[in-house]
Each structure stands twice: as C-alpha cells, then as structure tokens.
Amino acid sequence: MKKVSTLLLAFLTLLFISCEGDPGPPGPPGFDGVDGADGLIGSVFEAEVTFNAANEYQTLVTIPTSIEVFDTDVVTAYVLTDVDNGVDIWEPLPRTLFFGSEILLYGYDFTFSDVNFFLDGTVDFAGLDPIYTDGVIFRVAVIPADLASRINTSDINEVMGAMNIKSVERVR
C-alpha cells in the first residue's frame, strides 16, 4: 500500500508539473522611457547662487520635479571654477580655498527634494571679493548607485558621459 501511495503521489506531482494552461493575451505595452547607460537613468542640473548676509551665506535650491531622487542614488555637486578656451572647469564639492591663514569652504547637503549650498570657514564672508560670492554656478548630478560605483564621480565630464547627458537644465 505504501508503494502504491508513493507511486500515486509521484504520478500526481508529475501531472501537475507538466500541465500548462492557456498563456492568456499579452499585456499592454509599457510607457516609453528615457534610455540610460545600461538601463540606468541619472540627471544633472545647474544652479546659480549668490551668498550674502541676508541668506546667511547659504542657499536652498529645489531639485527640479523632473528629477526623482531615490534613497540609493548618489548626489554629487560641483562648482564652476573657471572657463579655459570655452571649456568649463568644474571642481567637486567640498572645495576649500586658502587666503593666507584664513579658509573658505564651499559645501553642500541635500534631501530628496533640495540641495543646500553654503559657505563655511574662518574667512570674513562679508569681506570676500564678489567673485567668490555672487553668481556662483553649481552643477548637481543625481547618479544611480550602480553607475556611481563604476565611474569617477569627482569628474563631472565622466559622470555626464556615462549617463549620456548632453545638455543641463539651469534652475533658479
């Protein structure tokens, strides 16, 4: 009896495994998306910021609503330091400048919806030349974590190339 029940169980198992029903109609087509590097999508935007006593030498920039920041994304920021023969030169933040024994630091922090740029250091911010405080251009890159682990995130040109980004939206 034990052999018959084992044999019957094996037969029923084989029967259920081998049965296949109607596959059904195909589902609706998905929405068209933006192709990214290896299927990964990242974003870059720019902001022009002026630091002064009225804003306590910090400025909160809202991330454009077209950009979604996930908790696994890497957010990096860069400051435009110069233009050489029409080529922008970007330096990753934080950026530290020395004025003798005084220090000026450009820094940033961020949430899922905004980026806060600020000045820090021992230098008298009010006494700084306007080149350091007025119309400072920052570039922010939101990079998928998997992509960020494979590229040099300190180089904005490599970041933009890896994400196939040709133009950048300026906010504010």
pTM, two decimals, is 0.73
Give the model's confidence band at 163: pLDDT under 50 very low, under 70 low, under 90 confident, else very high. confident
CA-wise closest residue to 90 among 165, 157, 162:
157
Choose the most confident range, by mean pLDDT, from 46-60, 66-80, 148-162: 46-60
Mean pLDDT of the 59-68 span:
92
Q: Measured between alpha carbons, how far is 33 from 17 in angstroms, rounded to an integer? A: 37
Containing H/E element for 132? none
Q: Domain residues of the chain, as ranges?
A: 39-171
What is the structure's pLDDT at 33?
46
At residue 169 the predicted structure's pLDDT band, cuts being 50, 70 and 90, is: confident
